[in-house]
Structure 1
Amino acid sequence: MKNASKVYYAIIMVLTVLFFHCTYGLKIVNSVNIKWLLDARHDWGQHYLGWAFYRDEPWGFPLGKIDALCYPSGTNVGFWDGIPLFALLFKPFSALLPQDFQYIGFWLLLCYLTTAHYSIKLFNLYNIKPVYTIIGVLLIVSNPVLIFRGMHPALCAHGFLLASLYYYLKAANKNNVVRINRDQVILLALSALTNPYITVMVVGFNFILPLKHYFYDKLLTKKQALLYPFLSCFSIIVVWFLLGMLTFSHGERLEVSDAYGLYALNLNGLFNSGGFSRLLPQMPWVNPAQYEGYTYLGVGMMLLIVVSFAYFIFKGNVAQWFKNNKQLLPLFVLAAGFTIFAVTNVISYNSEVLFTLPFPKFLIKLGGIFRASGRFFWVPFYFILFFFIFILVKAKVTNWLKISFLVVVMAIQAYDTMPLLTLRKLEGGTYVTPLTEAKWNALLPHFKTIITYPPYNNHLLNNMDYQDLCYLALKNHNAISTGYSARENRKAYTIFTDELTYNLKGAVIHTDEIYVTTPQYLDAFKAPLYKNLLNILYLDGYYVLYAKTKNIALSAQTVQAQKLCDSVNALYTKPRLSLINTIDLIQNNSKINFNIENVTVNHSTMVVNGWAYLVEKNNNTGDSVFVTINSGGKTYLAKTTQVARPDLNAAFKKEHLDSSGFTSDIILDGESLEDVVLGIAIKDKAGQFTYSTVGPAVNFLANKPEKIKKLPPQDDLLPSNLETVLEGNDYVVINGWATIKGINASKTVVKIVFMGENENFTIQTHSNIRKDITQALNDGINYDNAGFEIRVNKADLPKGKYKLGIIVSNKAAKKDAFILTDKKIAVK
């Protein structure tokens, strides 16, 4: 680089830093300033916490895994937009770094500097004069898209996009063609360590670059032209696999159903300021999610484009230009492809959806993975900026006129986008959490894990309060069952939530866990509270519960907090929780129609599910259903939770029985299940109780697996589907539907078959109403009873691996059928 070039290069970099300071403030580059990240209460806090937890994790495989966040399934530093490139770089030095070390501010500055650097290189390719280069680069680094995207620092790596554009436009020869393609592959690998969206944009260039060198420049062989895209894709797979962002265990579902089109580029994108303009009003979107397609040009750039376009059409030889630049065709195709993907098949303008196109399924699935599709217009956006700036500065017009015009463009652009330029007022200093940190810090070190209930609720008490709780967990080296991850292992989340709820209902708690919940979810803890197993505190609006066996010296709570805790204890430690006092009931078995569908016993809790209504009623609105238990000569009344059962209306030809379904969690207080007799009681609007005996509770216990020696004939065309098989450590939950075609399903019984290596077992399921199956089969037969569900304790099965099958039986039709599914489970 010549001395003159070094000078204007330095001038541009200084101006870029000054612009960054005016937009963000250089305070954020301070590596121990985390205040601006966590005070923001949006994604910046997520990015910092992802890195902060990652640095404390021991090295393991995959390299980016974080076990302490989203416990127990864990997550990945890449899914927290922690910029894995820097996370991997700084993690080995974690012990030497300050406690509050952050690199996100420096990364943002670096994004602006690399954008400026490759802008300079692009201008130099076309021998643009320094004065035009300085103005042009300033227009590029101050473009609204880059500033707006500051909310997601990993997505500000626009320098990767400009570098890819540079390598494509760079003149190739036999001496540098291999190096250019190699550098593009390296660039792609670096982008894969930054953000998946940036990676996909960059990989497009990894396809068209060797294509250009093969077809137009004749510098690569056909084999080489195919090899570079293959190496590019392979490098992404390797990087993401090593990092843990790509797995083959099918845990995380990468695509999100029905998401493609939601975050689309609105056709008003280039001139919709989004409310960040002094000159143009905000235009509407179809939905707020279309902010992802924010690609506002700014009035200054609009003026430049109009003038440049007019010059190009009326003064330039358009046909000759395209003839001379045929090698740009792949670039135009790539830009068009990204534009189509960004707009999606749901074409919208302002607040209206104009029409929907029938895109191929693979593209819809891809769009579900990269659902923020509007971002993909960034490549065409930058192509538009550079193209029209190049047209203007290369125009055969007097220099002073062009410079004057560009200064006017810059002034208009700065004035127009000033609301965006001054959007962020970021502070330095020490971060102070909104929670009473001293009290939490006195408590949390005594536990390994913070269990939020319900788990994975990122807005448990307040919006984005997962950041507050995660920050406390970070400071006290706790794992925590919450956190916002870009990709979530929903199956693992469901299993853990189900297991946790099941254990709490059975009064099973762990001494190394501390539970954090809110008033609306306290009922989940009623069993351990009733059995006096938990201490309870009230901190900052949360209820904090932990095992009474933990002796922790804590300062006294406030009077108000102690009153709240005392009232909770008084509520949940009443004698016979969920049971009202002994009562006298009017017994009339003929007046109640009911069905106890199943009874399960979870440690010391009995769960009863079913339905009941008064026979004389055509509409049971206002009636309350109770379960009664008789033990030791006394009868108690248990409250139930209503379960909607609209299916009963048609089944019994009644106007309204929707509120007949119920479930009841009954805490057993020393009773033997063999001595418990169940009953149903219904209280009508007038407060009159009617009672019906049901029978011994043991008669309704969930079925146990039974050995089966001979299976019915196999029917591979049997209408059926095991829709969900959730396998926990101690149980399996299975649901789906199955029926025999042409036979009314009202008398159908469905069993699940567990096919082991040496023995086969069956277990009868509980029926679910599935009107959708009747509608889907649409042959005039009622298949509403085809649905089923079952929870199986693994302890009831011998250890081994099992294939799952379905047996459908209809005694009335004397018909049995069996189908083997592709689902499997393991009992260890």
Structure 2
Amino acid sequence: MASNKENKFLSYFPKVRKNKILLFLFFIVAILCSYVIYYYQLDWIDFNCNHGRNAKSCIYKAQRLYLLPLIGFIGIFIFLFIDKITFFIVLFNNKIEGLSEKKSGLLLIIYSFIISCFLFSYRFSLYILDPTRVEWIKNMHGDIMLNFLSWHIFRDAPWEFPIGRIDYINHPLGTSIAYLDPTNLFAFIFKIFNNFLPSYFQYLGIWYFFCYVLQGLFAALIFKNIQCDLKLKLLAVPFLVFSTVLLDRLPHATLNAHWLILASFYLYFSKNISSNKKIIWQALIVYLTAWLHPYQTFMLYALMTALYLRIFFEEKNQRKYLTLIFSLTFIFVLMTWYAIGYFYLGGGYEYINFTYSSNFNTFINSMGNSIFLRPLGIGDGDYEGSAYLGLGVLIILVVLIFEKWPRENYVFKKENKALFWIVSILAFLATGFAFKFGEIKFLALHPPAFIEFIFGIYRSIGRFIWPAYYLIVIFSLLSLIYRERSIVKKYILVICALIVQLIDIYPLYKPIPLNIAKGFEISRDFSPWEKFMGKEKNKIIFYPNRDYPYSDFWLLSKKNNYSINIGYFARNNQIEIEKNESLTYDNILNGKIPNDTVYVVGGKFIKIITSSNHKNKFTCEYIQEFYACKSKN
């Protein structure tokens, strides 16, 4: 219940509403605030849009100029009725105050499930859960098309070892789905049932739904065991469900499994799970990532280290068991990677590259994903380390910083030290040993040799900032919840922060226009290619092997069982590719195109064939934007 001081404060609002002069002044203040918002948005448009305020295609122009000032105006007027809002909050509080711990936990989980489903259906559509609807994938950005096509080709590839091996793309080397990221776990599961599946089948919609729902589940479980008012838990959950680092990972389907990070935090904080169970569950989570993505494995193994260190120092009798499980998990992960084909090409290692790192301004830099805040400067590739907290969370942090800290520390407890150290190390690694704020680099360190080896495998090291993001959000909310203030003040503060947060990060979860038609329409006409290939040719070699529009040609390859050398792969054996390119070039100059092969060139490279002294040995034809040649023999 509200205190006497709060009741006295709330009693002023009915008086303001009845007083015409005060009401008029309040109206003027609301208009002035709306104008300030409008003016700020004009300034934003002038700064960020190519043609300033006259730009017709500037992103969110109408929402910024008209919707935001209107929301500000309405929000200030809603403040006039804060006494009524408080009354309903207290009434709601009394209704659910008597729920048992079991029922309140169940309510929290159901609530998180509803929010997760709403977010999924609002951002995508429930139609994409239908695996026969494939066209929507074309509307997605990033690697989603690659994820689908790699599964589409892999499903009909013969079972070989490594089990993720695909021979007829990236010819003659072949490749593995490990370098294509079709969400490996689902690819293997559905490949088993391939004979029963329709010709066009996608599971990416199911995977996205799975990730969003589990994100909500573990967000609920984290706050479920916190000793605080249920309503505050209900308000805290959306901060993790609408995670900016999750919503920003849309182009990388497998990396949407941020629930794995939350699951690790849940195990670390939970007091209702025995140490033995924590050890096993955390090991199983890490092993699961071996079937998903190596970046997840690295981060989850680090979080596993934090949990095991805590148990190691708290329970001496568990030390041998911890060491055994820790080692076995590492061995099983390596064996699984080997079986899938992560070491197949020998091209997983590259020269150390710190480009895709994290910037020191990452937590406050919206990178264009904020309604309110301008993007700040970054270095090349720092977008991979994006971890914008959102204006709502930033407001909470500001409030906490300027408040008096309580004597009892609820966050920086001794048992949390291992987690803080590991997450801090991950955040440090995410910087790539280059300390940058915006485009200014203050210091660059040369890492040890073993760190260079790790970064030769993990290029997008900025992603290691994700656990730090979640830890900051969770502990910010916990610190706010545990501070000594009235329950009503906590409600108002968290509600306001949540509203600001959801409005601010709207660009990250706004609806995506999707074509939800069934089947899959192929834009390129395959008939001239099939006619030119005939029955004798079964290999298409592009020279040089560059970023041609591979998706159409992968579908052509799948349809006719052709081998093809182009594509986009996370890793490759560049030395072998250059050798094969050199061989192709020599064959063109010497007039020796293999009998089962068609060579394809485009643009400025056409003259390599047309100027060849042996071009009379070739049968060539312009097919669409390419020039294709084959041996006359």
Q: Per the shorter chain, which TM-score range? A: 0.7 to 0.9
**What is the alpha-carbon distance in structure 2 between the residues aligned to residue 412 and residue 513 of structure 1?**
60
Q: Contact 2:215–2:241 at 8 Å: present in 1 too?
A: yes
With over 3 angstroms needed to count, the CA separation of the structure-2 counterparts of 1:457 and 1:469, relative to structure 1, is same
Q: Contact 2:350–2:456 at 8 Å: present in 1 too?
A: yes
Q: Which residue of 2 aligns with 1:391?
A: 479
The one of 545, 570, 593 aligned to 1:509 = 593
Aligned length: 532
Q: In the TM superposition, what are the counterparts of 1:250-269 in structure 2 within 5 Å?
A: 251-260=345-354, 262-269=355-362
Q: Secondary structure at the match of 2:521?
A: coil
Q: Which residue of 2 aligns with 1:239?
A: 336
Q: Which has the higher strand share?
A: 1
Q: Contact 1:188–1:199 at 8 Å: present in 2 too?
A: yes
- CA drift of 1:531 comes to 5.2
Q: What are the ranges of 5 or more consecutive residues in structure 1 without an aligned counterpart?
A: 550-828
- CA drift of 1:129 comes to 4.0
Matched letter for residue 451 of structure 2: L
- CA drift of 1:21 comes to 1.7
With over 3 angstroms needed to count, the CA separation of the structure-2 counterparts of 1:231 and 1:101, relative to structure 1, is same
Q: Contact 2:598–2:629 at 8 Å: present in 1 too?
A: yes
**2:468 aligned with 1:404, yes or no?**
no
Matched letter for residue 475 of structure 1: K
Structure of higher RCO (CA pairs closer than 8 Å, 6+ residues apart): 2
**2:422 aligned with 1:305, yes or no?**
no
**What is the alpha-carbon distance in structure 2 between the residues aligned to residue 407 and residue 321 of structure 1?**
22
The one of 152, 157, 160 aligned to 1:57 = 157
Q: Secondary structure at the match of 1:193?
A: coil
Q: Contact 2:359–2:438 at 8 Å: present in 1 too?
A: yes
Q: Secondary structure at the match of 1:508?
A: coil
Q: Contact 2:261–2:467 at 8 Å: present in 1 too?
A: yes
- CA drift of 1:381 comes to 0.7
Q: Contact 1:266–1:285 at 8 Å: present in 2 too?
A: yes
With over 3 angstroms needed to count, the CA separation of the structure-2 counterparts of 1:369 and 1:380, relative to structure 1, is same
**What is the alpha-carbon distance in structure 2 between the residues aligned to residue 359 and residue 449 of structure 1?**
48
Q: Contact 1:435–1:540 at 8 Å: present in 2 too?
A: no
Q: Contact 2:176–2:342 at 8 Å: present in 1 too?
A: yes
Q: Which residue of 1 aligns with 2:522?
A: 433
Q: Which residue of 2 aligns with 1:187?
A: 285
- CA drift of 1:41 comes to 5.9
Q: Secondary structure at the match of 1:151?
A: coil
Matched letter for residue 317 of structure 1: R
**What is the alpha-carbon distance in structure 1 between the residues aligned to residue 507 and residue 608 of structure 2?**
48
Q: Secondary structure at the match of 2:616?
A: coil
Q: Contact 1:155–1:195 at 8 Å: present in 2 too?
A: yes
Q: Contact 1:507–1:527 at 8 Å: present in 2 too?
A: no
Q: Which residue of 1 aligns with 2:9?
A: none
**2:231 aligned with 1:131, yes or no?**
yes
**What is the alpha-carbon distance in structure 1 between the residues aligned to residue 191 and residue 338 of structure 2?**
19
The one of 351, 374, 388 aligned to 1:296 = 388
CA deviations over 1:768-823 (Å, ceiling 9, x no partner): xxxxxxxxxxxxxxxxxxxxxxxxxxxxxxxxxxxxxxxxxxxxxxxxxxxxxxxx
**What is the alpha-carbon distance in structure 2 between the residues aligned to residue 4 and residue 345 of structure 1?**
45
Q: Secondary structure at the match of 1:271?
A: coil
With over 3 angstroms needed to count, the CA separation of the structure-2 counterparts of 1:470 and 1:241, relative to structure 1, is same
Q: Which structure: larger Rg?
A: 1
**2:227 aligned with 1:115, yes or no?**
no
The one of 272, 278, 282 aligned to 2:375 = 282
Matched letter for residue 333 of structure 2: I
The one of 451, 467, 474 aligned to 1:363 = 451
- CA drift of 1:54 comes to 1.0
With over 3 angstroms needed to count, the CA separation of the structure-2 counterparts of 1:431 and 1:111, relative to structure 1, is same
- CA drift of 1:391 comes to 1.8
Q: Contact 2:246–2:258 at 8 Å: present in 1 too?
A: yes
Q: What are the ranges of 5 or more consecutive residues in structure 2 without an aligned counterpart?
A: 1-100
Query: What TM-score results when the alignment is normalised by the length of structure 2?
Result: 0.79
Q: Secondary structure at the match of 1:353?
A: strand
Out of 332-341 and 360-369, give the one that drifted further.
360-369
- CA drift of 1:527 comes to 8.3
Q: In the TM superposition, what are the counterparts of 1:41-52 in structure 2 within 5 Å?
A: 42-52=142-152
**What is the alpha-carbon distance in structure 1 between the residues aligned to residue 535 and residue 109 of structure 2?**
56
**2:546 aligned with 1:453, yes or no?**
no
The one of 387, 404, 407 aligned to 1:317 = 407
CA deviations over 1:519-557 (Å, ceiling 9, x no partner): 4222443588845343333232112223445xxxxxxxx
Q: Secondary structure at the match of 1:150?
A: coil
CA deviations over 1:84-120 (Å, ceiling 9, x no partner): 1111111111111111111112111111111111111
Matched letter for residue 397 of structure 2: I
Out of 126-135 and 197-206, give the one that drifted further.
126-135
- CA drift of 1:7 comes to 4.0
Q: Which residue of 2 aligns with 1:333?
A: 421
**What is the alpha-carbon distance in structure 2 between the residues aligned to residue 7 and residue 163 of structure 1?**
19
- CA drift of 1:272 comes to 0.8
**What is the alpha-carbon distance in structure 1 between the residues aligned to residue 291 and residue 495 of structure 2?**
38
**What is the alpha-carbon distance in structure 1 between the residues aligned to residue 103 and residue 508 of structure 2?**
36
Q: Contact 1:136–1:389 at 8 Å: present in 2 too?
A: yes
Out of 406-415 and 158-167, give the one that drifted further.
406-415
With over 3 angstroms needed to count, the CA separation of the structure-2 counterparts of 1:70 and 1:89, relative to structure 1, is same
Matched letter for residue 507 of structure 1: G
**What is the alpha-carbon distance in structure 2 between the residues aligned to residue 197 and residue 6 of structure 1?**
33
Q: Contact 1:38–1:431 at 8 Å: present in 2 too?
A: no
**What is the alpha-carbon distance in structure 2 between the residues aligned to residue 545 and residue 131 of structure 1?**
70
With over 3 angstroms needed to count, the CA separation of the structure-2 counterparts of 1:447 and 1:92, relative to structure 1, is farther
- CA drift of 1:327 comes to 1.4
- CA drift of 1:232 comes to 2.0
**What is the alpha-carbon distance in structure 2 between the residues aligned to residue 448 and residue 271 of structure 1?**
56
Q: Contact 1:303–1:409 at 8 Å: present in 2 too?
A: yes
With over 3 angstroms needed to count, the CA separation of the structure-2 counterparts of 1:347 and 1:535, relative to structure 1, is same
Q: Secondary structure at the match of 1:354?
A: strand
With over 3 angstroms needed to count, the CA separation of the structure-2 counterparts of 1:67 and 1:394, relative to structure 1, is same
With over 3 angstroms needed to count, the CA separation of the structure-2 counterparts of 1:191 and 1:128, relative to structure 1, is farther
- CA drift of 1:450 comes to 4.0
With over 3 angstroms needed to count, the CA separation of the structure-2 counterparts of 1:360 and 1:172, relative to structure 1, is farther
With over 3 angstroms needed to count, the CA separation of the structure-2 counterparts of 1:300 and 1:154, relative to structure 1, is same
Q: Which residue of 1 aligns with 2:170?
A: 70
**What is the alpha-carbon distance in structure 2 between the residues aligned to residue 480 and residue 338 of structure 1?**
39
With over 3 angstroms needed to count, the CA separation of the structure-2 counterparts of 1:11 and 1:225, relative to structure 1, is closer
Q: Contact 1:252–1:490 at 8 Å: present in 2 too?
A: no
Q: Contact 2:286–2:329 at 8 Å: present in 1 too?
A: yes
**What is the alpha-carbon distance in structure 2 between the residues aligned to residue 417 and residue 391 of structure 1?**
22
Out of 334-343 and 358-367, give the one that drifted further.
358-367
Q: Contact 1:278–1:415 at 8 Å: present in 2 too?
A: yes
CA deviations over 1:413-439 (Å, ceiling 9, x no partner): 121112222273222225433322444
Q: Secondary structure at the match of 2:599?
A: strand
Q: Which residue of 1 aligns with 2:303?
A: 205
**What is the alpha-carbon distance in structure 2 between the residues aligned to residue 163 and residue 219 of structure 1?**
25
Q: Which residue of 2 aligns with 1:653?
A: none
CA deviations over 1:294-348 (Å, ceiling 9, x no partner): 111111111122224445xx14226x5478x211111011011001100121111
Q: Secondary structure at the match of 1:471?
A: helix
Q: In the TM superposition, what are the counterparts of 1:85-124 in structure 2 within 5 Å?
A: 85-124=185-224
**2:608 aligned with 1:518, yes or no?**
no
CA deviations over 1:54-100 (Å, ceiling 9, x no partner): 11111111111111221111111121111111111111111111111
With over 3 angstroms needed to count, the CA separation of the structure-2 counterparts of 1:114 and 1:517, relative to structure 1, is same
Q: Contact 1:473–1:480 at 8 Å: present in 2 too?
A: yes
The one of 462, 465, 478 aligned to 1:377 = 465
Q: Contact 2:590–2:614 at 8 Å: present in 1 too?
A: no
CA deviations over 1:360-380 (Å, ceiling 9, x no partner): 122123222212111000011
